[in-house]
Structure 1
Amino acid sequence: MACVASRPLLALALLLAVCGSDAGGCFTAIFSFGDSLADTGNAIRLGGLGGPTGSPPYGRTFFERPTGRFSDGRLIIDFIAQGLGLPLVQPFLGGGSIEEFRQGVNFAVAGATALDLSFFRSKGIQPSWTDRSLHVQIGLFKQLLPSICAGRDPKDVLNSSLILMGEIGGNDYNHPFFQGSKVEEIRPFVPSVIASIKSAINDLIEIGAKTLLVPGNFPIGCVPVYLDIHKSENVEDYESETGCIKWLNELSQYHNRLLQDELDQLRKLHPQVNIIYANYYDAMISFFRAPHIFGFKAPLHACCGSPGPYSVNRNAPCGHRNAKVCSDPSGSVSWDGIHLTEAAYGAIASSILEGPHASPSLTKVCSGTRQDAVYDF
C-alpha cells in the first residue's frame, strides 16, 4: 500500500526532474496573485491572518517546518516553479531582495477575495478578512515593477514571465457562506467575481503580460468543512459517484463556465497572449471518482483535524491542541478540512504542467515545437 500511496509524488518527482531541465529558461519569473491556495507566506506576516500556519504540524512534509503555507508541504505554485526550473516564489512580505524578486514575487494572501471589500458591505456583509483583494495585489505589483525592471522596459520583463492568476474567487463565496448566507444570495455574486478577474487580467496584459495561467474554482462540495456544515439526510443532495454535495459543486461549475466564457473573449481581444485555463475542478474531482489511482484512502476526510464525520471540528481545527494528524498525509486529499495536502497539490500541478488539465500545458507552451514526453500518472 505504501507504494500505491506514494505513486503520484514519485511520478511528479520524475516530471519535475525532466521538465525542470527542459523548461529551464522558458520563463524567467513567476508573478502570482490569489488567496490561501497560493499564499507562500504573506498572511502570516500580516498578523492573525496566517492562523495556525506558523506552527506545527503545518509544513511538516517537505519543509519540515511551518512556512506560512496552508498545507503540510508544497502548494501548486511551488510545484510549478520547480517544474519550470525556477526557485520557489518569494512572498512579497517575506523580506526578499529585489534581486530575488526578479525571479518571481507572490502577492497571494490567505482570505483574499476577487472583489473589493466595498462590494460585500454593499450587500450587507461585514468583512472580517483581509483587504488585500485581487486589485490591491495588482496595485502592489505595479508599484514594485519599476524596481524589478531596473531600467528595462516592463514589457521585456513580462514577456518572459508567467503570471499565475490565483486561484482567486473562492473566498468571495466562502466568507458569505461561513457567515450564514444562502446559496441563493451568493450565486448572483458570480458575474461580479468573474468581471473582477477579467479586469485584473486586462490590466496585466496592458502592461505587457504574455502568458497567464488562470485557474478555475475547486469543487467546493467535496471540501470537508462544507460537508460537515451542510450534512444532510437527503441522499439527493449528494453526488452518487463522489459523495460530494451536489448544489455546492454546481456553484463552482457555474463560476468556471462564466470564467471560461470570459477567457474566450479575452483570447479574441488579445490573440498574441497565451491565456491558459487551469481546470482545477476536473483535476480535483478525479480524486473522489477514483481515489485508489492517486493513493488516497479517505478522500473526503481531513488529515489534520478532530473527530467527526469528516474529521473536522470548527472548534478544534488543525493546529488546535486537541486536533489530531493522520500518520500519512499523502493518503489524504484534504490537509485541514479546507486546504489540500502536498500530495493533492502535487497531482494537480502535474496535470497543469504536462496535461490534461491545462490547454495548452505549461511544458507545451515552453517547448514550442518540441515533442513532449508522455508520463503515466
Structure 2
Amino acid sequence: MVMVVLLLLCCGGLVLVVADESMAAGKGDGGCPGGDRQPLWVFGDSYADTGNLGNLGRELTHAWYDPYGRTFPRHPTGRFSDGRVLTDFVASAVGIPTPVAYKLRRRAPGDLLARGMNFAVGGSGVLDTGYFQRNISAQIDLFQKQLRGCAPTGVALVVVSGNDYSAVVDKNNGTGAAIAYIPTVVRGLREQLRRLRDDVGMRKVVVTNLHPMGCTPYFTRPLNYSGCDPLANAGADQHNAALRSVLDELDPANRTFLLLDLHTPFVAFVNDAAVNSSSSTTTRFPVRLRPCCVTSKADGYCGQQDDAGNRQYTVCDDPDRHFYWDDVHPTQAAWAAVAVAFTPAIHAFLST
C-alpha cells in the first residue's frame, strides 16, 4: 500500500454536522476545553487528516488540488477524499462538529477549540514512515503542549491505516517484509495508547483497526480491479489480531479503549465474498474495487497533470457509486456508509 497518505447531511439515519471552513476566522489558540459536549482529539494519518498536511505542491500534496473536495465543500480542503473523511463522521457520532485542524488553530475562535483538535496528518504512522510527517508520538506531544496544564477531557481518536507497512514495502519491495514488521508496529502503538491513558490522562480512547488493505485500488489495479490481494489482506488480519490482544491486556474491562471496527464494514462493501451474496451491500456501491479518480499512468496519482497542465487522470460522474475515491482513500459516501456501522458502538462506549 502506498502513502496512506482518511451543514447537515442525512445518510442512513446518521446526522452529520461539519464546521464550514469559513468559520475558522479570527484568533484563538487555546483555553481549557469546557462546555457540555465532549471534545474530540484526533491522531493519525490521511484517513483522519482534515487539513494538517501543508500544501507543498500538487505532486506531494494531492489533497490540496482538484479534484479533491469535489463533493464537499466543492473545493480542496486538504482532505483525502471527494468530501468528508473519517474524522468528520466520528465527530458526528460523538455529537460535535468537526474539530479544528491543528494547522488552522490560530485562526479558530475559542468556541471552535472547545470541540477539541485534529493532529492527524497524511503520511504519518505509528513510527517514522520516511514520509517526513509527525508520527503519532509527535502528535501526542503537540496535544500535551496544547493542553497547557488543563486536565484532558473528551475522547481521543487514534487512526492507523497502514503507512508503517507501506513504507516497509517501498523500502524492501515486498508485502512479506511488511507482515514481519507487524509486531514492531503494534508494540509502538501499544506504547502510545498507554501514554494517552496513563501519562496524558485520557479516559476514553477510540482506536481503529486496519481495513482490508489488499482491497484498496493500489492492490486491485494490477488485477484489473477484479479482486483483492490475499497476502495484503492477511497482513491486515494479523495486525488486527495483535491489536485486539494489546487492548485486552491494557483494558480487560473495555472501559478506556474502544476498538473501532472499520475492517468488518469495509469487507461487507468491497470484499470478493460480498459480490456473490444477496446482501444489499453489493448494490450500495456498484463499483467496489475501481476508484472514482483513476490515474492514466502506472505510477501516477489522482490529480496529476503534465507540464502543460493536461490532466493525467479521469474522474467518474458519480462518486457515490464508488467505494474508493483514489488508490487508497474511500469516497465520502463510503465513509458515510461505514459510519452507520460504527456509530452505535461509539454511542455505547461513551455512555459507560
* Pick aligned residue for 1:247 from 228, 231, 237: 231
Aligned residues: 312
Q: Is the partner of 2:336 in helix, strand or coil?
A: helix
State the match for 1:222 in structure 2: 215
Residue 278 of structure 1 and its aligned partner are, at CA, apart by 1.1
Mapped to 2, the partners of 1:115 and 1:26 lie a distance apart of: 35
* Pick aligned residue for 1:83 from 82, 85, 93: 93
Q: Which has the higher helix share?
A: 1
Q: Is the partner of 2:148 in helix, strand or coil?
A: helix
Residue 313 of structure 1 and its aligned partner are, at CA, apart by 3.7
**CA shift digits 1:22-62 (9 cap, x unpaired):** xxx87520000000110100013566786121122111112
RMSD: 2.6
Residue 15 of structure 1 and its aligned partner are, at CA, apart by 2.3
State the match for 1:317 in structure 2: 302
Pair 1:365-2:349 in alignment: yes
Pair 1:181-2:173 in alignment: yes
Mapped to 1, the partners of 2:173 and 2:265 lie a distance apart of: 28
* Pick aligned residue for 1:261 from 245, 267, 290: 245
* Pick aligned residue for 1:303 from 292, 295, 309: 292
Q: Is the partner of 2:15 in helix, strand or coil?
A: helix
Mapped to 2, the partners of 1:164 and 1:346 lie a distance apart of: 17
**CA shift digits 1:283-311 (9 cap, x unpaired):** 1011121585352112010100135xxxx
Residue 178 of structure 1 and its aligned partner are, at CA, apart by 3.2
Q: Is the partner of 1:137 in helix, strand or coil?
A: helix
Mapped to 1, the partners of 2:51 and 2:59 lie a distance apart of: 10
State the match for 2:337 in structure 1: 347
Q: Cα gap change, 1:306/1:162 in structure 2, threshold over 3 Å: closer, same or farther?
A: same
Q: Cα gap change, 1:84/1:49 in structure 2, threshold over 3 Å: closer, same or farther?
A: farther
Q: Is the partner of 1:77 in helix, strand or coil?
A: helix
Q: Is the 8 A contact 2:164 2:185 kept in 1?
A: yes
Q: Is the 8 A contact 1:49 1:110 kept in 2?
A: no
Residue 256 of structure 1 and its aligned partner are, at CA, apart by 0.4
1:1-377 correspondence to structure 2 within 5 Å: 10-12=10-12, 14-16=13-15, 27-45=37-55, 51-94=61-104, 95-97=106-108, 99=110, 100-116=112-128, 127=130, 129-146=131-148, 149=150, 154=151, 157-158=152-153, 161-166=154-159, 168=160, 170-206=162-198, 207-229=200-222, 231=223, 243-268=227-252, 271=253, 273-288=255-270, 289-290=274-275, 292-293=280-281, 295-306=284-295, 313-320=298-305, 321-354=311-344, 361-367=345-351
Unaligned residue ranges in structure 2 (runs of 5+): 1-8, 18-34, 306-310
**CA shift digits 1:314-338 (9 cap, x unpaired):** 2353344121110000100110111
Q: Is the 8 A contact 1:169 1:193 kept in 2?
A: no
Q: Is the 8 A contact 1:35 1:113 kept in 2?
A: yes
Q: Provide TM-score, normalisation by structure 2.
A: 0.81
Q: Provide TM-score, normalisation by structure 1.
A: 0.76
Residue 228 of structure 1 and its aligned partner are, at CA, apart by 2.5
State the match for 2:30 in structure 1: none
Q: Which amino acid in the other structure matches residue 261 of structure 2?
A: N
Q: Cα gap change, 1:51/1:17 in structure 2, threshold over 3 Å: closer, same or farther?
A: closer
Q: Which amino acid in the other structure matches residue 42 of structure 1?
A: N
Q: Is the 8 A contact 2:55 2:64 kept in 1?
A: no
Q: Which amino acid in the other structure matches residue 183 of structure 2?
A: P
State the match for 1:122 in structure 2: none
Mapped to 1, the partners of 2:250 and 2:136 lie a distance apart of: 18
**CA shift digits 1:227-251 (9 cap, x unpaired):** 225x49xxxxx9xxx8211111000
Moved more, 243-252 or 169-178: 169-178
Q: Cα gap change, 1:48/1:203 in structure 2, threshold over 3 Å: closer, same or farther?
A: farther
Mapped to 1, the partners of 2:347 and 2:55 lie a distance apart of: 33
Q: Which amino acid in the other structure matches residue 81 of structure 1?
A: A
Mapped to 1, the partners of 2:137 and 2:59 lie a distance apart of: 19
Q: Is the 8 A contact 1:16 1:82 kept in 2?
A: yes
Q: Is the 8 A contact 2:293 2:326 kept in 1?
A: yes
Unaligned residue ranges in structure 1 (runs of 5+): 1-8, 19-24, 118-126, 233-237, 355-360, 369-377
Q: Is the 8 A contact 2:50 2:78 kept in 1?
A: yes
Q: Cα gap change, 1:172/1:49 in structure 2, threshold over 3 Å: closer, same or farther?
A: farther
Q: Is the 8 A contact 2:319 2:331 kept in 1?
A: yes
Q: Is the 8 A contact 1:210 1:272 kept in 2?
A: no
Q: Is the 8 A contact 2:258 2:349 kept in 1?
A: no
